[in-house]
Amino acid sequence: MSDPLRALRPWESPEVTSWGRLPMNALDRRTGALPLDGDWRFQLLPAPDAPVQGVWSSQPVPGAWTVQGTDDLPQYTNFAMPWGEFPPDSPAANPTGVYEREVDVPAAWAGRRIVLQVGAAGSVLLVHVDGRPVGVSKDSHLAAEFDLSGVVRPGGRAVLRLTVVKWSDASHLEDQDQWWHAGITRPVLLYATDPLRLADVTVRTRCDGTLRVDCQVRDAGGALPAGWYVTGELDGRLLTQDQEFERFKEKDGRVSDFLGEARLGTVVADARPWTAETPALHPLTVRLHRADGSVADTSHHRVGFREVEIRGRDLLLNGERVYIRGVNRHDFHPLTGRTVSYEDMRADLVTLKRFGFNAIRTAHYPNDPSLLDLADELGFYVIDEANIEAHDHAHEIADDPRYLGAFVDRVSRMVLRDKNHPCVIVWSLGNESDYGANHDAAAGWVRRHDPTRPLQYEGAAKLDWADPTVASDIACPMYAPLEDCVAHALSGRQTKPLIQCEYSHAMGNSNGTLADHWEAIESTPGLQGGFIWEFWDHGILQRVNDGRPAGRGGAGLYDHGVTTPGHRWAYGGDFGETIHDGAFVADGVVFPDRTPKPVMFEHREIAAPVRLAYTGGELRVTNHQHFRGLDRLAAEWRLSLADGGTRTAPAELPRVPAGGSAVVPMPFTLPEEGGEAWLTLRVTTADEEAWAPRGTEVCVPQVRLRAASRTVSATATAPGPPVEVDEDGLLVHPLLTAAPVLSLWRTPTDNDELGGMAARWRAWGLDATRRTLLDVRRGNTGVTVIAEYTTLAGAVRHEQVFTRVGGGIRIEETADLPQGLTDVPRVGSVFETVAGLDVLQWYGQGPWESYPDRSTGAPVGHHSLPVDELFTPYLRPQESGGRHGVRRFTLSAPDGTGFTVALDEPRQVSVTRYRDEDLAAAAHHDELVARPGCVVRLDAAHRGLGTASCGPDTSPGHLVRAGTHRWSWTLRPR
Ligand code: IPT
C-alpha cells in the first residue's frame, strides 16, 4: 500500500498514541482562526485498508456519521465490547470515514506558523494534506494539532483529508457506558501564529490573591530569538515578570528547539475569590513581545482565585468544607450524538444550577472544552476525568505495558488542556479500568505536573477507602450502601474525604432514598457528597417508520420529554443491534430533551440554600450556603390549610451570612379551625443571575405548623339509597367503569426489574392475581364484601366495608398478606372512571411526582393538574405518575361534575390513563395509547423506589411487608 500512514496500521498498535501531533497546551486558538466546519466530501469504507473510491457523498463537520444518514448506526453497550476481539485487536469489519475538503490558506499567513486543529475524532485520526501524510492521533475526546507550516502554502489551496477509523486498540480504552459513535465530533480549524509564540501558559492562584503565570515560549524560526519578554495584564493591572530563563542548545547562532520560560506574578489584594457560589473571574491577557516591544503572540484567560486542599478527611475549597452536590455528565445530544453546541452545554449547566447542583464529573472523558469555560463562569466544581475506561478488559489492560503510553498520554493531555480552569478541582484517572501500573504511571505524572489539585480514581480507592498509598486522594466509591459510608466515617479509620463518584442511579423512576443520603452527609463528618449517575437519558430521536436516527432534521420534533408522533427515543437495541444493554442508557435526571425528571425537584429541595425550621413555637431561617449571604434571594410565605385554602404574605429574608440563621416572626395567625397547617417559604432569585432570570424559584422549604386533628373520620352514617354491589360483590357507581379491587402490583420500574424484585413478584403471580368472591353481607347502611386473591405465595383475604355516609360512600378496606408475601410493590385499591374527568385537584404533596422514598422535595399543599400531565413519560413505560402524602383529591369534568375522595391518612395515589397491562405491553412511551377514563390507584402501602438497577435498594422502612393492611376512604360526588 502506498500510503505510509495506513501501511503502519496504527489502529492495531496501542504503543502508537500519536504521530506528528503537537503537544497539548492550555491556549485557546479559536479567535482569529479559520473555521473548517461545514459540509465535507465523505465516503465510508468497510475497513481502514480498503481503497478510497472516486464516489463521494457529504457529511457535516462536526458530527458523528452514526446519526447523519450512513448505514453505520449507533450501538449501545454498557461495558460489553460490541465485538469479540481481545485487546489490542479490533474487528476486520471496521467502518472508516474519509473526509475531504479544499482549504484556501490566507495569503496573509505568509511567514507564519500554520496549525491544523481537529477538536475530536475517533477512535483513530489520520491526517493527509495534498496526499502527504501529516499525522495520527488517538483519544476521541481531546483535540489534536498538527503543524502544517511548510506543508500548505499561504495564498494557495490545499486538499485536507481526515480519515477516521472507528475501531482500534484504543476502543478498548473507550468502553464507556454510552452509545458507540464515530466521526469528527468537535470543530476543525486552521490557525496561524508568529514563529515566536506562546507555547503554553499555566495559571496558578491562591485565594489570598496570589497569582503566578508561567509562560512557555517557543520559536520555530531557527535563529535565536534574543530579547523576547512577556507582559501580563490582569483586570487592567500590569503584572511583573520576575523570572525568566531559556533552555536550548545553540550552535553557530542557530537553536535546536528553543524554549524560553518566564514567570509573571502579582498579589491582588482585593481579589474576589472564585467559588461555585461566587464564580468571580478576572480577565488576564498575556503578551509575548519581541525585543523591539512589538507583540508576537497574545493569549487570553479568565482567572479564578481559589485553592483546593485536602486537610484530614475534608476537601477544602478556599479553606471551606463544601458539599459536593454533583452529577455525572456526558457530552450528549438526542440529534447529534456526542456533538454538542455551546448553547446546549450552557443549557445543561443552567438546568443543573437551577436544581441545586454545584458539581460535575465529566464522565468518563474530558468534555467539550466550552463546558469548562461555562463551568468557570456559572460556578461548578468539576472532576475532570480522563478518557480511559477499559471496562470489559480492565484487568488485562491496567498492567499491559503496550497501553502504558496511552494511559499517560490521555491523562497528561487532559491536564495540559484544562489546568487553568478554576472550576477543575480534582483530576480523575478514568473509570472502571481495574487498577494497575499504568494508572500509577499516569498518577505520577499528574502529581508532579500539578501539585495544586488532588486526584482520584475509583478503581484504586475501592481496594481500601483509607489506603494512603493508592492512586486516589479521595475515597470515591460508586453505589456504596449508605450504611457502609456512614460506618467508614465513624470507624476512626477514615483518612480521605468520602465523596461517591457515582450514586443514586437515575434509571427510569428512581432515586429513592436520595434524601437519606443527604441527611447522613450533612450530619456525618467525613461524608462530603457525591455525583448522581447521571445527567442524561441518552435517548436518540429515531423515526419509527425506517428506524433511522432523525439527526439534525429532528429539531423541534419533541417537547417536554415527549416525542411527536412517528418518532421515539431510541435506546439500546432499537437500531437493530444484537449486542446491547437496552434501556440502561436511559438513566439520567433529565429526559433526552433536557426536560427535568421529578427527581430534579427532589434534589433542588435537598440542596436548598435556605432552610426553615419550626421548633418550640419558633420559626428559624438558616442560610445553608457556603459563601453567600441571602441578599440575592427573595421570598414569599405561603400558608396551606387543609380545610381553608392557601394564603400568601411577603417575606423578608434575614441578613445572615453563610451558615448563619435567625429567628423570624410568624407571618400568619392560624385560624382556630382548619385542621392541618403548613407553612412554605417560596424562595426565588431576587436579581438576574447568569443562570436564571429574576423570580426563578430556587427552593420551597416547608414546615408543619399544626397537625391534623384526629377527628374520627366522618363515621356518621346517613340515610339514602343503599350501597349497590353487583353479583360479584363489586361496587356499582355511576362514575366508575371498574369498581375498586385490591392491587398488589405495580408495573415494574427499572429498579424493580434489574434489582430482581419484579421476577420474584411475577413468580408469586402478583401481576395476575385471581379474585374469588367469598361473601357478601348486606346491612342497613352498607355492604361488606369479602374476597380472596390467589397468589403462589398464599391467598390474600380482602375485605371491603361499604357504608353510606353524608352524600357518599365510605370504603373501609383490609388486606391480610400471608407471611410468604413480604416485600410486595403495593397494597391498595385500583378503579377506573368514566371519560371526561380530566382535571385532578389534590391536597397533599406535589405538584410533581413523588414516592415514599422520594418525597422530600414535594411540599404539602393544594395542587391541580390536568390528568394528562400527571404521568411521567419515562422512556420505558413503568410505574409512574404517583403522588405521595395525598389526603384528598377531586377528579372533575369541565362542567363541574366529578367526585372527591377523602383518605383516612396521607396515602400514595396515582391517576393515569393506563392500566398496568397497557404499560407492560409498551416498550417505549410513544407506544402507549391513553384511555379516555382514568385509572385511579390509592395505596395503603407503596414500596419505595430505591436504586437497585445499579446500587442499593430502598431502605427497609420503605418495604411493604406481610401482615394486615388497613385503609379507608370516602367517595362523594363533587
Ligand atoms: C458504573 C459506570 O461507571 C457507569 O459508567 C455506568 O455504567 C453506571 O455504572 C451504571 O449506569 S459501572 C457499574 C457496573 C457499577
Q: What is the DSSP string of 317-328?
A: ETTEE--EEEEE
Locate the ligand 1 atom nearest the alpha carbon of residue 479 and give its number. 15
Fold adopted by 714-973: Beta-galactosidase; Chain A, domain 5 (2.70.98)
Cα maximum dimension of the chain:
117
Task: Classify residue 695 as left (phi > 0), alpha (psi -120 to 50) or beta.
Answer: left
Mean pLDDT of 882-907: 97
> From the CA of 372, how far away is ligand 1's center (Å)?
23
User: For ligand 1, what atom is nearest to the CA of residue 951?
Assistant: 15
| Residue 952 CA to ligand 1 centre (angstroms) | 13
Q: SS3 letters for 629-660?
A: CCCCEEEEEEEEECCCEEEEEEECCCCCCCCC
* 163 CA from centroid of ligand 1 (Å): 31
Pocket test for ligand 1, best of 76, 78, 501, 511 (most atoms within 8 A of CB): 78
User: What digits encode the pLDDT tens for the residues 485-506?
Assistant: 999 999 999 999 999 999 999 9
- For the CA atoms of 34, 37, 38, 44, what is the dihedral angle to 10 degrees? 130
**Above 90 in pLDDT, residue 720?**
no
Beta strand 963-973 with 808-817 is antiparallel
Question: Which is nearest to 101 in space by CA: 51, 152, 177, 158?
Answer: 158
CATH number 3.40.1440.10 is the correct assignment for the domain at 207-303 = no
Confidence of residue 405 (pLDDT cuts 50, 70, 90): very high
Site to substitute for ligand 1 among 365, 389, 432, most atoms within 8 A of C-beta:
432
Residues 890 and 841: their CA atoms lie apart, in Å, by 5
Handedness of CA 949, 950, 956, 962 (dihedral sign): positive
Give residue-wise pLDDT tens across range 740-768: 999 999 999 999 999 999 999 999 999 99
Chain centroid to CA 739: 42
CATH of domain 308-538+586-601: 3.20.20.80
Ligand 1 nearest-atom number relative to CA 391: 12
Percentage above 70 pLDDT, the chain: 99
pLDDT of 356-393, one tens digit each? 999 999 999 999 999 999 999 999 999 999 999 999 99
pLDDT of 719 above 80: no
Considering only CA atoms, which residue is closest to atom 6 of ligand 1?
177
State mean pLDDT over 391-397: 96
Number of other residues whose CB lies within 10 A of the CB of residue 756: 11
Angstrom distance (rounded) from CA 114 to CA 118: 13
If you measure from the C-alpha of residue 572 to the centroid of ligand 1, how many angstroms do you get, rounded to a whole number? 15
Rounded distance between C-alpha atoms, residue 691 and residue 277, angstroms: 12
pTM exceeds 0.95 for this model: yes
Which atom of ligand 1 approaches the CA of 507 most closely?
A: 11
At residue 974, the pLDDT reads: 87
Element (H, E) at 444: helix 437-449
Please report which confidence band the pLDDT of residue 716 belongs to, taking 50, 70 and 90 as the band edges: low
What CA–CA distance (Å, rounded) separates 934 from 912? 6
Angle between helices 342-354 and 369-378 (to 10 degrees): 40
Mutation probe of ligand 1 site: the residue of 531, 537, 950 with most atoms within 8 A of C-beta: 950
**642 close to 677: Cβ distance less than 8 angstroms:** yes
Nearest one of 392, 396, 351 to 374, comparing CA atoms: 351
Residue 714: all three cell numbers together: 366522618
Q: Tell me what pLDDT residue 223 has.
A: 78
Which pLDDT score is estimated for 710? 63
Mean pLDDT of the chain: 96
- Expressed in angstroms and rounded, the spacing between residue 673 Cα and the centre of ligand 1 is 53
Contact 324, 273 (CB under 8 A): no
CA of 319 to the centre of ligand 1 (A): 32
585 backbone dihedrals φ, ψ, rounded to 5°: -85, -10
List CB contacts of 253: < 8 A, sequence separation 6 or more: 223, 224
Report residue 913 as a C-alpha cell: 390513563
Residue 380, pLDDT score: 98
CA-closest residue to ligand 1 atom 5:
177
Q: What is the pLDDT of residue 712?
A: 45
Q: Kindly report the protein residue whose alpha carbon is nearest to atom 13 of ligand 1.
A: 950
Is the per-residue pLDDT at 325 higher than 90?
A: yes
Region 633-653: mean pLDDT is 95
Which atom number of ligand 1 is nearest to the Cα of residue 431? 3
Of 665-669, 674-678, 758-762, 924-928, where does mean pLDDT reach its minimum? 674-678
Between the CA of 424 and the centroid of ligand 1 the distance, in Å, is 22
Q: Among 597, 908, 916, which Cα is nearest to 752's?
A: 916
How far is the centre of ligand 1, averaged over its atoms, from the C-alpha of 590 (Å)? Answer: 17
Give the distance (Å) from ligand 1 centre to CA of residue 584: 9
Q: Output the pLDDT for position 711.
A: 53
Pocket test for ligand 1, best of 77, 177, 365 (most atoms within 8 A of CB): 177
**The pLDDT value given to residue 786:** 98
pLDDT of 244: 73
Ligand 1 pocket test, candidate residues 387, 478, 754, most atoms within 8 A of CB: 478
Predicted pLDDT at 791 = 96
Cα(483) to centroid(ligand 1), Å: 20
| Residue 892: φ, ψ to 5° | -140, 155
806 pLDDT band, cuts 50/70/90, is confident
- pLDDT at residue 838 greater than cutoff 60: yes
Distance in Å, CA 873 to ligand 1 centroid: 23
Nearest CA to ligand 1 atom 10: 950
Rg (C-alpha) for the chain, rounded Å, is 31
Distance 185 CA to ligand 1 centre (A): 24
Distance in Å, CA 419 to ligand 1 centroid: 27
Equal fold, 207-303 vs 609-700? yes
Taking 3-state DSSP, the helix, strand and coil percentages for the chain, each rounded to the nearest 5, stand at 15, 40, 45
pLDDT reading at 129 higher than 70: yes
Among 668-677, 714-723, 772-781, the minimum mean pLDDT is found in 714-723
Question: Phi/psi of residue 655, each to 5°?
Answer: -85, 80
CA–CA separation, 393 and 385 (whole Å): 19
Supply the pLDDT for residue 252.
73
Which atom of ligand 1 approaches the CA of 950 most closely? 10
Atom of ligand 1 nearest to the CA of 432: 3
- List of residues 6+ apart from 703 with CB closer than 8 A: 612, 613, 614, 619, 678, 679
Q: Whose CA is nearest to atom 7 of ligand 1?
A: 177
Overall average pLDDT of the 581-590 stretch: 97
Burial 460-486 (b: 16+ CB within 10 A, else e): bbbeebbeeebbbbbbbbbbbebeebb
Closest residue (by CA) to atom 12 of ligand 1?
Answer: 432
Q: Which three cell numbers stand for residue 676?
A: 392541618
Cis previous bond, 847, omega within 30? yes
Every domain of the chain and the residues it spans: 4-193, 207-303, 308-538+586-601, 539-585, 609-700, 714-973
Distance in Å, CA 478 to ligand 1 centroid: 8
C-alpha–C-alpha distance, residues 435 and 472, integer Å? 11
Span from the CA of 569 to the centroid of ligand 1 (angstroms): 21
Question: Position of cell 490521555?
Answer: 410
CA of 507 to the centre of ligand 1 (A): 11
Q: To test the ligand 1 pocket, which listed residue (502, 536, 584) has its Cβ within 8 A of the most ligand atoms? A: 502
DSSP three-state, residue 3: coil
Considering only CA atoms, which of 21, 69, 20, 2 is closest in space to residue 42?
A: 69
Pocket of ligand 1 (CB under 6 A): 78, 177, 364, 431-432, 478-479, 502, 505, 533, 584, 587, 950
**pLDDT more than 90, % of the chain:** 92
Length of the chain: 974
3-state per-residue secondary structure call for 196-252: EEEEEEEEEECCCCEEEEEEEEEECCCECCCCCEEEEEECCEEEEEEEEEEECCEEC
Question: Packing angle between helix 514-523 and helix 599-606, nearest 10 degrees?
Answer: 10
Q: Whose CA is nearest to atom 14 of ligand 1?
A: 950
Instruction: Check residue 251 and give its pLDDT.
Output: 74
Q: In the numeric block, which cell numbers belong to residue 873?
A: 413519560
**Ligand 1 atom showing the smallest separation from residue 363 Cα:** 5
Report d(CA 827, CA 602) in Å as an integer. Answer: 25
For the segment 532-561, the average pLDDT, to the nearest whole number, is 97
Using CA atoms, how far apart are residues 636 and 622, in angstroms rounded to an integer?
A: 15
pLDDT for 224:
78
Would residue 924 be called left, alpha or beta, if left means φ above 0 and alpha means ψ between -120 and 50 degrees?
beta
Report which protein residue has its CA nearest ligand 1's atom 9.
950
Residue 73 reports pLDDT greater than 70: yes
Q: For residue 592, is pLDDT > 90? A: yes
Atom of ligand 1 nearest to the CA of 458: 3
Q: 633 phi and psi, to 5 degrees?
A: -115, 150
Query: 23-34: buried (b, 16+ CB within 10 Å) or exposed (e) per residue?
Result: ebbbbebeeebb
CATH number for 4-193 (one of 2.60.120.260, 1.10.3720.10, 3.30.930.10, 1.20.1530.20): it is: 2.60.120.260
Q: How far is the CA of 177 from the centre of ligand 1 (A)?
A: 7
| 366 close to 330: Cβ distance less than 8 angstroms | no
Q: Which three cell numbers stand for residue 852?
A: 415514599
Nearest alpha-carbon partner for 140 in 113, 167, 161: 167
**Span 609-700: which CATH code?**
2.60.40.10
CB count within 10 Å of CB 327 equals 29
What is the phi/psi pair of residue 299, to 5°?
-135, 145
834 Cα: distance to centroid of ligand 1 (angstroms):
44
